[in-house]
């Protein structure tokens, strides 16, 4: 139920992706420039989960080549089954210390 009293429909995130490799990292954004995300053992990220304690801008480059920037105000869940992400950067709101948790998964 929405605050207005109107009925709402759910948006379930109940999906299954078998992973070959995964990487998790914590980032503390202490400066205003973009912070590159380390992929660890993940070659291409098909699953990207971002949890941030403050609003950030998330820039993703896919295997298709174009970089896209989207806002992340709390959480972002991305699953791309055919085109993986090859580069990710995190940019905080200016002068705001920010903690970000990143999960990357490469599909099997």
104, 106, 107, 108 alpha-carbon torsion, rounded to 10°: -140
CATH of the domain at 39: 2.60.120.1380
In a domain, 12, yes or no: no
User: Residue 76: its pLDDT value, please?
Assistant: 96
pLDDT digits (tens, 9 = 90+) for 7-41: 666 667 778 899 999 999 999 999 999 999 999 99
In a domain, 68, yes or no: yes
pTM of this structure: 0.87
In a domain, 7, yes or no: no
Angle at 32 between CA 47 and CA 46, to 5 degrees: 10
Residue 85's Cβ-count burial label (10 Å; 0-12, 13-18, 19+) is: buried
Supply the range of the domain harboring residue 60: 19-107
Number of domains in the chain: 1
pLDDT digits (tens, 9 = 90+) for 59-102: 999 989 889 999 999 999 999 999 999 999 999 999 999 999 99
User: Residue 16: its pLDDT value, please?
Assistant: 86
């Amino acid at each position: 139920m929405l605050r207005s009293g109107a009925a709402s429909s759910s948006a379930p995130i109940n999906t299954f992706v078998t992973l070959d490799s995964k990487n998790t990292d914590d980032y503390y954004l202490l400066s205003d420039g973009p912070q590159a995300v380390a992929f660890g053992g993940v070659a291409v990220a098909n699953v990207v989960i971002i949890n941030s304690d403050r609003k950030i801008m998330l820039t993703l480059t896919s295997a298709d080549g174009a970089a896209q920037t989207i806002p992340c105000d709390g959480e972002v869940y991305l699953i791309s089954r055919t085109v993986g992400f090859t580069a990710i950067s995190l940019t905080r709101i200016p002068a705001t210390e920010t903690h970000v948790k990143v999960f990357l998964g490469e599909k099997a």
